[in-house]
Amino acid sequence: MRLDRRDALAGMAAMFGTALFAPIARAAAAQVTPISDGPPSAPVFSAEQRALMSALSERIMPTTDTPGAIAAGVPEFIEKMLADWAMPDERKPILAGLDAIEARSQADYQLAAVKASPEQQDALLTLAMEDKLPGGLSFFDKFRQLVITGYFTSEVGLTQERDYLPVPGRYDGAHPYSPGTKVFSS
């Protein structure tokens, strides 16, 4: 089975529309430059920021009956997108948001955000989402897009969260659907 990340990125671009974070749009639209599976061209995060980014990505797409963001390689995808597809100014909201979350965790919980409980991390993400942190909403919107895109363009997202059918058969607009039924991807 061959999964094409570029095709999956194009589908994500259609889902987010004009609100798509620019690095994702550039990667999806690139016709010549391949999206490599290797490491990023340069590190984007400090070790502390990388650990926090990984923990927060898992809070957005947690492990349930299917693997979560970390198992799907989302943290690596995020760093790759920011290193290889983002302009320097496009990285700033993500880095500033991580720093704002860290500062708020220190102020509210007297501990590093990466060591905060899942409930505390959820509360910190909620503060960002509600724009109650400096640059919070800008961070949250872009970060969530990166997490969702990284997850649903990964092998885990395409094969375990969704049903991968390379040839799904004929179109049936009246196909029975019940809650919990997986969405087809191809």
Q: Find the distance separating the first CA and the last CA of the chain, reported in whole Å.
A: 10
C-beta neighbour count of 155 within 10 angstroms: 14
* Residue found by looking up tokens 């375990």 in the block: 160
DSSP annotation of 164 reads E
Chain segment 113-131, per-residue pLDDT in tens: 999 999 999 999 999 999 9
pLDDT at 30 over 60: yes
Return phi, psi of residue 184, to 5°: -75, 145
Model confidence band, residue 78 (pLDDT cutoffs 50, 70, 90): very high
- pLDDT score recorded for residue 1: 38
Residue 26 to residue 162: CA distance in whole angstroms: 25
| Sign of torsion over alpha carbons 44, 48, 54, 57 | negative
Number of domains in the chain: 1
Measured CA to CA, the distance from residue 174 to residue 160 in angstroms comes to 24
pLDDT at 27: 74
Pick the more confident residue, 86 or 17. Answer: 86
CB neighbourhood size of 162 (10 A): 17
Range of the domain at 90: 5-185
Least confident among 64-78, 96-110, 144-158: 144-158
C-alpha to C-alpha distance for 110 and 94, rounded to whole angstroms: 22
Identity of the amino acid at 88: P
Confidence of residue 3 (pLDDT cuts 50, 70, 90): very low
Helix segments in the chain, DSSP class H? 5-16, 22-29, 47-60, 74-84, 88-109, 118-129, 136-152, 155-156
